[in-house]
Amino acid sequence: MQAVSWALKEAVTFTRAEVTSASWESYPILRFSEVPAVSVEIVSRPELPPLGAGEAAQGPTAAALANAVHAALGVRVRQMPITGDRIIAAME
């Protein structure tokens, strides 16, 4: 979900003088109301070292979403976040 939020919503805003994304209330981030239900299963593997698995999804998620936009609409959005305005601009 974090990778989807990065790809579709998150962007630090700033002027020439300062960062204007000053609070979580105004920062564009995926909210719980926008997240589909997620099922988590814990796989017991005591013989293996405990390692994270979610980090591997960060990179490919944005590419997969951009490719989905291309497959559906035939346009490439090459800047994140992938917003409706950027999709429309790519179509023009």
Structure pTM?
A: 0.74
Q: How far apart are CA 89 and CA 72, in angstroms?
A: 15
pLDDT value at 43 more than 90: no
Domain covering 2-91: architecture: 2-Layer Sandwich (3.30)
Q: Label residue 7 exposed, middle or buried (CB < 10 Å: 0-12, 13-18, 19+).
A: buried
pLDDT value at 56 more than 80: no
pLDDT grade, residue 53 (50/70/90)?
low
Candidates 55, 60, 9; CA nearest to 35 is 9
Alpha helices in 1-92 (DSSP H): 2-8, 58-73, 84-91
Ordered by start, the domain boundaries in the chain are 2-91
Given this model, what pLDDT does residue 54 score? Answer: 65
Q: What is the mean pLDDT of residues 17-25?
A: 88
